[in-house]
A and B are shown apart, each in its own frame.
Chain A
Amino acid sequence: MLLSAALFIIGVTGVMLRRNIIIIFMSIELILNAVNINLIAFSYKLQNGVGQVFAIFVIAVAAAEAAGRAGYHPRVLSQ
């Protein structure tokens, strides 16, 4: 759990401090992964499968978001 908190902090720092937009997006991914780690850790501790199922949804949402962003980029940066 401490690990996920630390990762979360690093991700937030990255989002705040870097101006390069790509790195901001990657820091967001780091934050999402920190959340996932937390979910899996609890799933392991409580021996309950729900955490893993929810983590799958988190990954799916992150994938959808990345896809949408990738479609957006060529438009924005061609201007």
Chain B
Amino acid sequence: MLHAIAFYVLSFFILGFAVLVISTRNTVHSVLYLVLNFLAIAALYVLLTAQFLAVIQVLVYAGGIVVLYLFVVMLVNLKRPPEDHSAPQRHAWIGFALAGVVLAELGGILVMGRVAPQPGPNMEMSDLALHNVERIGMLLYTDYLIPFELASMLLLVAMVGAIILAKREL
């Protein structure tokens, strides 16, 4: 019961902040709403007993990526719209169509599978919930070792690339 209330309250905040992100005039405020959005999502992850991911979300997403955005926003005051972006009104319908397809799919799954936003199978903490870090660690290093290494390489490449890009303009 409390679980469901918390879920709905959090969902309200998540969606609310997301709407605010794309609708605020002020770019800095938009970034701040994004941070609040991520924090609410992290809280949701805790509710869904994915504690490790919740903390990673705060650490990497809210604490790292958005700080990057904030730097970019502050150092470069983007007042003029970029020239290479085509007029949005003509192509918006593609995006809406795609979103509609996604919604239809999910609705279909809901109806046919009768999956509803209820609390999980049993309310007692399962093994995955209690030993969250250990289980994820085991999975990462045994079954999913290759994607793990690939992700590390990806991050390395991104780091080096970012440095090269930034250096060349000095």
Contacts and interface: CB of A to CB of B under 8 A. Distances in A.
> A and B: direct contact (Cβ < 8 Å)?
yes
Interface of A: 1-3, 5-27, 29-30, 33, 36-37, 40-41, 43-45, 47-50, 52-53, 55-57, 59-68, 70-75, 77-78
A9 B165 CA distance: 33
A9 to B, nearest CB: 4
Given A3-B14, A5-B103, A16-B88, A66 B68 contact: yes
Interface of B: 11, 14-15, 18-19, 21-22, 27, 30-31, 34, 37-38, 41, 44-45, 48-50, 52-53, 56-57, 60-61, 64-65, 68-69, 71-73, 75-76, 78, 81-82, 85, 88, 91-92, 94-96, 98-99, 102-103, 106, 109-110, 115, 117, 120-121, 126, 128, 132, 135-136, 139-140, 144, 147, 151, 154-155, 157-159, 161-166, 168-169
B34 A26 contact: yes
Given A22-B73, A27-B22, A75-B168, 10 more contacts: A10-B22, A19-B81, A22-B31, A33-B41, A37-B41, A40-B48, A48-B128, A52-B52, A59-B53, A71-B163
A29 to B, nearest CB: 7
Given A71-B161, A71-B163, A16 B95 contact: yes
A29 B67 CA distance: 13
B22 A56 contact: no
Given A30-B21, A45-B120, A21 B78 contact: yes
